[in-house]
Amino acid sequence: MLTPWLIQLAATPEDHVPTGHLVGYEDYVTFIAKMEWGKAGHWTYANRYTPEPTESVPIYGFYLFLGHLSEWTGLSTVWVFHLARSALGAAALICWWLFCRRYSAQPAVACALGLFASFGFFKLFGEELWVYEHFVQGHAAYMGILGFPHYLVDFLAVLALFHAYLSGRSVPLLAALAGAGLGPVHPFLLALFPVIPVVHAVCFDRAKLRLALTIAAWAGIASAPVVVPQLIAYIQTPWLQEWRAQTGYDALWWEGLIRLCFTYGIAGVLAWGSLAWVLRRGSEVEKVCAAWLMTAAALLFFAPIPNSREFAFFISLPVGLLAAPHVARFAERVAPARHKLAAVAAVVLCCAHGLTMLGTVVIPHADTYHPKAVVEGLKWLEAESGPDDAVLCSWAAGSFVPMYILHPRPWVGHPTETLDFANKEKLVKPAFEGKEPPPTRWAVIVKKIDRELPIPNALPAYENDEIAIWETGAWKG
């Protein structure tokens, strides 16, 4: 689990620093920025990707905690991030294997499909189709293991909840752990995962309804200390409402249907195709998986929240469990004497794109390292600026500025975290050209990524081979 980060660290060029990025660069740098905010002593989060000062709210507690952990241990935030990802990822892999071994007749096949089917397959057919797998969050399994440890908290919470329901053991403890995990990380998922056992009980096994309601109650109680303050913040804080509204994605109903049914490649087709048979004659576990798929699909289409697509979180897990018997039967038919080898081949066929993507994690690219000179320039800017200052920059530069400095905040940064990003982004180039007054005290160009931005008609206050920084009051443009 830690190896990709260690390889990146060992291969760092002398004049660069490793970013720690493995997957999902735009989001990754924001999580490091949130950890840096926690490292500075904060337990609530003020938006660091928009130029306006914003009220602190009780969100991103997981990454703020990791930031405090960085301060307490003396380790860098990147090291703490990858240690957390590795520890939680190892625990998630072990628990997923144990879950499959207990609840699937083909544990190895189900385990592999549940993980690697989440890579999807649309990218094989071009960037335009790749968008479909981006907006179905079943990729949370591999994104957690390779990228974002908060997904792994969800992963463990989900397995705890379903093990409690399927086994009937340690119900209050496991349900409370699930609620305590989902609450700080993705509280809206409490509208999905604790509801699935209730849907299963109502549709298939009324005798388990009391157990399902008990699990939902304990999950809700355990999450309340975190979820209630978050709900109050969402109701009372205008910037938080605006930010959440920006995370929405509009799609036609048939586009949503394509994403649900086909994003997981062959495994997804097998799982959805077997649903009618499962509803009539499937085992208890298969019917729970069917309830999972149907509940997630209903919320994905009808839930009144901007990012309802995220109700498909971890949908690759039931897809893997439902597809596994079909893959195993196929293997036994094509190679009865060597059906285990054939099963491996079938899994590889189902997950070919995901398996090939693993190699890209350790191959250096533009986001793997930042020049030391850029970091030095940003540190100079932090020393010269005030906590309420903002800096004019491209969104590509603004995406990682808060990763290294606490202020000034970027004029534009992450597209969904910068408030009114679209209009602010339109002002960047005209302001650099002098056609519009600079909206901030400071301006930054990172030379290798901002070549399209013109240099203002003024000497920079700071400059090296990689970065130039202006105090905009000196601009003559």
The answer to whether 121 and 353 have CB atoms below 8 angstroms apart is yes
391 in Cβ contact with 442 (< 8 Å):
yes
Vertex 336 angle, CA 330 and 341, to 5° = 75
Q: Which residues sit opposite 391 in a β-bridge?
A: 410, 442
CA distance 228 to 220: 10
Where would I find the beta strands (DSSP E) of 195-300?
none
Give, for all 477 residues of the chain, the pLDDT tens digit.
898 899 999 999 999 999 999 888 889 999 999 999 999 999 999 999 999 999 999 999 999 999 999 999 999 999 999 999 999 999 999 999 999 999 999 999 999 888 887 666 666 666 566 555 555 666 777 788 888 999 999 999 999 999 999 999 999 999 999 999 999 999 989 999 999 999 999 999 999 999 999 999 999 999 999 999 999 999 999 999 888 888 776 666 777 777 777 778 788 889 999 999 999 999 999 999 999 999 998 988 888 877 787 888 888 899 999 999 998 888 888 888 887 888 888 887 777 666 666 666 767 777 899 999 999 999 999 999 999 999 999 999 999 999 999 999 999 999 989 999 999 999 999 999 888 999 999 999 999 999 888 888 888 999 999 999 999 987 765
What residues have CB less than 8 Å from 367, skipping those under 6 apart? Answer: 19, 21, 25
CA dihedral sign, ordered 18, 20, 22, 26: negative
**Three-state secondary-structure class, residue 86:** helix
pLDDT the model gives residue 293: 94
- Cis amide bond preceding 184, omega within 30: no
What confidence score (pLDDT) does residue 250 get? Answer: 65
How far apart are the C-alpha atoms of 334 and 324, rounded to whole Å? Answer: 16
The model carries a pTM of 0.93
pLDDT on residue 266: 83
The string of DSSP codes covering 13-51 is: -TTEEE----S-HHHHHHHHHHHHHHHTT-SSB--SSSS
d(CA 379, CA 387): 13
Across the strands, what pairs with 371?
Answer: 16
* Count of Cβ atoms closer than 10 Å to residue 42 Cβ: 17
Instruction: Tell me which amino acid residue 316 is.
Output: S
Supply φ then ψ for residue 402, to 5 degrees: -70, -10
Give the per-residue pLDDT at 354: 61
Q: Which amino acid is it at 90?
A: A
**351 and 112 Cβ atoms separated by less than 8 Å:** yes
Is residue 268 within 8 A of residue 312, CB to CB? The reply is no
3-state SS, one letter per residue, for 316-339: HHHHHHHHHHHHHHHHHHHCHHHH
Distances (CA, A) of 268 to 23, 150, 235, 259, 326: 23, 25, 37, 10, 12
Q: Are 429 and 458 in contact (CB under 8 A)?
A: no
- What pLDDT does residue 39 have? 97
d(CA 91, CA 374): 37
433 φ/ψ angles, rounded to the nearest 5 degrees: -75, -10
SS3 390: strand
Cα 109–chain centre separation: 25
Partner residues linked to 16 by β-bridges: 371
For the beta carbon of residue 102, count every other beta carbon within 10 angstroms. Answer: 12
Is residue 215 within 8 A of residue 171, CB to CB? The reply is yes
Q: Cα(317)–Cα(383) distance, rounded to whole angstroms?
A: 48
CA distance 455 to 452: 9
Rounded Cα gap, residues 248 and 206, in angstroms: 36
For residues 296 and 300, what is the distance between their CA atoms, to the nearest angstrom?
6
Q: Burial, 250: exposed, middle or buried (Cβ in 10 Å; 0-12, 13-18, 19+)?
A: exposed
Separation between Cα atoms, residue 330 and residue 347, nearest integer Å: 11
